[in-house]
Amino acid sequence: MKIMNKSDLKSLKRSVDQGTEEQRKAVQDIISQVKSRGDEAVKEYTKRFDKATMETFKVSKEEFEQAYASLDGEFVQILQEAADNIRAFHEKQKTASWFDSSEDGTLLGQKITPIDAAGVYVPGGTAAYPSSVFMNVIPAQVAGVERVVMVTPPGQDGKVPDGVLLAAQILGVEDVFKVGGAQAIAALAYGTETIPSVDKITGPGNVFVALAKREVFGDVDIDMIAGPSEIAILADETARAEEIAADLLSQAEHDARSSSALVTTSETLAKAVEKEVQLQLDSLPRADIARKSVEDYGMIVLCESWKEAVETINEMAPEHLEIVTEDPFQELGKIKHAGAIFLGPYSSEPVGDYFAGPNHVLPTNGTARFSSPLNVDDFVKKSSIISYSRQALETNVDKIARFARLEGLEAHARAVETRKERWK
């Protein structure tokens, strides 16, 4: 992780993995086969890619019970408390339908309706991600989605991690299917004999999952095409180097393409963090991944002024932003672009990943300039309500007809003018 000046930065964005032409063609073939052959195709792809032979995909009641029994009570309590925190936060995001009436009898409004069904993809592989279950399922439930369908890749033994099943059990999600990859996305989008189709698909995955989400978008909605994780830390001389280094590495261990950046005006802090990162790397279990990330995408930006430091952060538009300064709340109003903002030395990024309550599904790769974290609004539709009275139409019919003719749409004009016959 090298110290540099802002002027040395060529670009703060990384290219999102679009996949190769061969990968895109493979994903298109998988989707086509799942659409035409349903469960049979899903079983074939699961055996080919996950090395698991599946007779049935749906997680049984016995599997849920075994997962619960295998985990100690303290861990169960931790997950339950985290779920409660996340639900409480998202409850505050709910919006209600509204109506506004005028004296002339006009009624206008907005009707909020949850989508019928949401699909959640939970990554598999070597790690278990109960936090992904919480962050994707809870906002859907709070929004009022009636059916949540979860898919997650099985291991070669045909099982999924106990922590993932426990998280689903805590939330009351019963439709959990042991399917991963592009075939899982296709099954959620179009349905099979056993896996029901949904209206929206959320959740992270590998390049094949991302490509599949791109392909099915339009037939169903998706949350986003997420890039590698990232963190930026805006810090002054009051920050502790060992804490800043640890927080930078918390993202670097995600992926070799993750980005970690410290932005500061303190040369003393910059040099101390540079040294501390190397010290801490040596003891990390995922040191190879973190070291590659730090070497390729890590940076310490030493700015000449605090104004320049804040400008650098807003240019980055980071997924995660920590503000570790003497008065972080004073800096909050200056930040225009960030997915999640962590204020003060006790608000380490993993606090938000797992426990605090806000959603950790965040815009990456600079898209925080125009995107928001996954939230309750992502699982509802908003319908406009229009009710004109006779008085309101009489007052405005000629204006509306003239507007329509201005656009060359005579049938539009006649549609409102024909109502004049009612009051002759």
**What is the predicted pLDDT for the residue at 421?**
86
Same domain, 175 and 314: no
Residue 63 marked as a ligand binder: no
Same domain, 254 and 403: no
Same domain, 75 and 203: yes
Please confirm, yes or no, whether 394 is among the known catalytic residues: no
Same domain, 189 and 326: no
The separation between CA 147 and the C-alpha centre of its own chain, rounded to angstroms, equals 19
Same domain, 297 and 332: yes
**What is the predicted pLDDT for the residue at 161?**
94
CATH code, domain carrying 270: 3.40.50.1980
- Which residue in the list 90, 320, 337, 360 is annotated as catalytic? 320
**What is the predicted pLDDT for the residue at 9?**
73
Instruction: Tell me if residue 215 falls in helix, strand or coil.
Output: helix
Please confirm, yes or no, whether 360 is among the known catalytic residues: no
**In this structure, is residue 367 part of a structural domain?**
no
Give the residue numbers spanning the domain of 42.
Answer: 21-222
Number of domains present in the structure of the chain: 3
- The reported pTM is 0.93
**In this structure, is residue 54 part of a structural domain?**
yes
Same domain, 168 and 25: yes
Residue 353 marked as a ligand binder: yes
**In this structure, is residue 365 part of a structural domain?**
no
**What is the predicted pLDDT for the residue at 148?**
98
Q: Look at strands 320-324 and 340-343 and give their pairing.
A: parallel
Q: Look at residues 382, 417, 412, 373 and name the one whose alpha carbon lies nearest to residue 397.
A: 417
**Per-residue pLDDT tens digits of the chain, which is 424 residues long:** 889 988 887 555 665 556 789 999 999 999 999 999 999 999 999 999 999 999 999 999 999 999 999 999 999 999 999 999 999 999 999 999 999 999 999 999 999 999 999 999 999 865 679 999 999 999 999 999 999 999 999 999 999 999 999 999 999 999 999 999 999 999 999 999 999 999 999 999 989 999 999 999 999 999 998 888 999 999 999 999 999 999 999 999 998 989 999 999 999 999 999 999 999 999 999 999 999 999 999 999 999 999 999 999 999 999 999 999 999 999 999 999 999 999 999 999 999 999 999 999 999 999 999 999 999 999 999 999 999 999 999 999 999 999 999 999 999 999 999 999 888 7
Same domain, 247 and 203: no
**In this structure, is residue 375 part of a structural domain?**
no
Same domain, 188 and 270: no
Residue 190 marked as a ligand binder: no
Residue 206 marked as a ligand binder: yes
* Domain endpoint, select from 356, 379, 400: 356
* Domain endpoint, select from 180, 204, 222: 222
Query: Could you give the C-alpha distances from 316 to 16, 259, 260, 321, in angstroms and in order?
Result: 15, 11, 11, 10
**In this structure, is residue 171 part of a structural domain?**
yes
Same domain, 170 and 251: no
Same domain, 218 and 234: no
CA distance 143 to 111: 13
- Which residue in the list 319, 322, 331, 349 is annotated as catalytic? 319
Residue 407 marked as a ligand binder: yes
Same domain, 134 and 148: yes
**What is the predicted pLDDT for the residue at 169?**
97
CA distance 63 to 70: 11
* Domain endpoint, select from 192, 222, 252: 222
